[in-house]
Structure 1
Amino acid sequence: MDIPWEDVRLFLAVAETGSLSGAARQLRIGQPTVSRRLAALEYQLGRALFRRSVDGAVLTGVGERLLLPARRMAEWAGEVGRAAKSSEGHLQGIVRITAPPYPCAAFLAPFAAWLAGKHPGLQLEVISSPHQLDLHRGEADLALRHKKPEQEGLTVVKSFSIESAAFASKTLAARLPRKPCLTDIPWLAFAPPMDTLPPNPQLEQLIPGFTPVFTSDNYLVLAAAAEAGLGALPMPVVRHAFAGPSQLVALPVELGPYKRLTYHLVCAKSALDIPRVRLLSDLFVSEMERTIASPA
């Protein structure tokens, strides 16, 4: 029995999001379309793949057996797509990069503006998410991550070690003790589902009973709260040459082992054979090295 890749992709989306609505959002199609195509697939197989309820869709035994082969098929589909793109002779098109919230706002957005002026045919698409996109499947071409990849087939293009400090408004800094302790500072931090990302784990390790004064799942909201004087936010000391102005100042506190953050630029090895991905990664590495060499 031949099952088209698009049907496998739909099955996988429902399985991994846990609902038809989640699959619809991921695949960017309507939920009725997902329901209709899934019903057609189950009719073709003669078996139910999911048990549906108001809480979502749970795999049946048959669905469980299909899950691993479907994931492998998704990885190979990504590999096929990259092989096809590697033969392209032009340097135009979209390159998708995924990263934590801070580098998305502070580095990638201004870098995209610079890129548009230098290479107008090359477009950067930036995805900020608490969940890692699957580079094997081609969900993104490049990723900035805090940890080196362990999966076979992924490679580190470049690693960046960046100094961090606690930043606050001048107004808040003036209200704090001259040499504040970590516990003297009102902290800003991420709310779920972003609370597994820095600075939350670091602050929880450094401050017993850590309780932030304000949380948000959006980095730009946290940055605005810091600018307004609500609290302090740990951020890298360096600023991209194309970043906008900021009134925040670094506080004289020690962040211990978390004074430096490391970002790894990661991709599938075969992605570097795609001309536009190779060009964009080279340009980004060059700009990041220049930024780190010239801290604000």
Structure 2
Amino acid sequence: MTTKPQLFDWDDLRIFHALVSSGSMSSAARKLGIGQPTVSRRLEQLETRIGARLVTRGADGVELTDIGERIWAQVQIMQNTAGDIERIAHQADRADAGTVHLAAPEVVAGYWIARQLPSFVEANPLINLEINTRVDGEMALDQSDISLQMTESKRMSHVATELATLHYVPFAARAYLDTYGAPKSVADVLNHRIADLVSYREQQTHWPKEASAIKQMMNPSLTTDNSLALVEAVRAGTAISMIPTYAAKVQPDLVHVDLGLEVPITLWMVYHPDQRRVTRVRKVLDWLREIFDGSLYPWFRKDYLPPNTFSDVDVVHVRGERPRPRALD
């Protein structure tokens, strides 16, 4: 009797899921913690076994073929089913002990959550909190018990609540201003050194029209995918950049370059409702609500507060001529 060869293995589909949900080979490799050549090779193996091309590759990333669309729909169902199985297993364990997987943006995890951990760890010594800053969006929901993200989840099966508002404003270091001077007008900021975060491009659709248009006109001197590196580069005097105002509470040596420009971005807390039944996850959910409570930490409120109202940062007011951005589509 001849054994029918295996058409694919589950790990191939996991890599296919990461590729499509992240949009590119490099992003999928980064999220999975493997090399880009491995992602490419495993995709080729899957396509060879199936006998059809699943994606096409272009300058903007990957696009699904017709057969790829059909397989992608089934892979999403499989991924959701796997998540349901894990949640059912967790419900059998209501103990305070165990691991809770939390996905969060780097700057939120590094500059805020990490600084609030001592009291949580002291009160919950048997909970192991694993914080992952390398996954986001749909991938984060698949790999985490709780996901903090800057876009609202479209999954009907999950709860998405507004946890906080992050108010982005321009910051610089005193060393930068001493060396290059402050912008003479809002238009003059385009002549200065600018640091940019890769994820700001994804958030740009949520930015106010003028801020988004001005950003399109800027020519960054530094671009990075690491928000902590961006903040530290600004503190070192490298450039001016948009940074959440709560960074001023943590790093009062920053200088607010007040251009009359503020970008509010909602931070969402997303989780499956069944997670509330797991004691350790519920404790983390409640703790996150506490440390992002706008009544206790006003920089997370919906209404904007200038950084110098709650920290010792200096402020440089810049007004005058504004750039004339081209019309947005």
Query: What TM-score range do you get, normalising by the shorter chain?
Result: 0.7 to 0.9
Q: Does 1:227 align with 2:240?
A: no
Q: Give the deviation of 1:153 after TM superposition.
A: 1.0
Match of 1:250 in 2: 256
Q: Does 1:167 align with 2:171?
A: yes
1:165 is matched by which residue type in structure 2? V
Contact 2:163 2:292 in 1 (8 A): no
Contact 2:104 2:136 in 1 (8 A): no
Runs of at least 5 residues in structure 1 that lack an aligned partner in the other structure: 52-57
Q: Does 1:98 align with 2:109?
A: no
Contact 2:153 2:160 in 1 (8 A): yes
Match of 1:148 in 2: 152
Q: Percent identity?
A: 17
Contact 1:183 1:207 in 2 (8 A): no
Match of 2:19 in 1: 17
- 1:198-237: per-residue Cα shift (whole Å, max 9, x none)? 5798554234521112222222221121111111122222
Secondary structure of the corresponding residue to residue 215 of structure 1:
strand
1:209 is matched by which residue type in structure 2? M
Note the aligned Cα RMSD (angstroms): 4.2
- CA–CA distance in 2 between the matches of 1:223 and 1:118? 31
Alpha-carbon spacing, 1:160–1:270, altered in 2? closer, same or farther (3 Å): same
Contact 1:98 1:128 in 2 (8 A): yes
2:283 is matched by which residue type in structure 1? L
Select the residue among 115, 119, 128 that pairs with 1:123. Answer: 128
- CA–CA distance in 2 between the matches of 1:284 and 1:277? 11
Contact 2:101 2:129 in 1 (8 A): yes
Matched positions, count: 274
Secondary structure of the corresponding residue to residue 93 of structure 2:
coil
TM-score using structure 1 length: 0.73
Select the residue among 170, 187, 200 that pairs with 2:194. Answer: 187
Select the residue among 225, 249, 253 that pairs with 1:217. Answer: 225
Deviates more, 1:145-154 or 1:127-136: 127-136
Q: Give the deviation of 1:168 after TM superposition.
A: 1.0
- 1:84-136: per-residue Cα shift (whole Å, max 9, x none)? 21231212222222233321221223234543333222222222247424365
Alpha-carbon spacing, 1:114–1:50, altered in 2? closer, same or farther (3 Å): farther
Match of 2:90 in 1: 85
Secondary structure of the corresponding residue to residue 144 of structure 1:
strand
- CA–CA distance in 2 between the matches of 1:162 and 1:25? 24
Match of 2:79 in 1: 74
Match of 1:108 in 2: 113
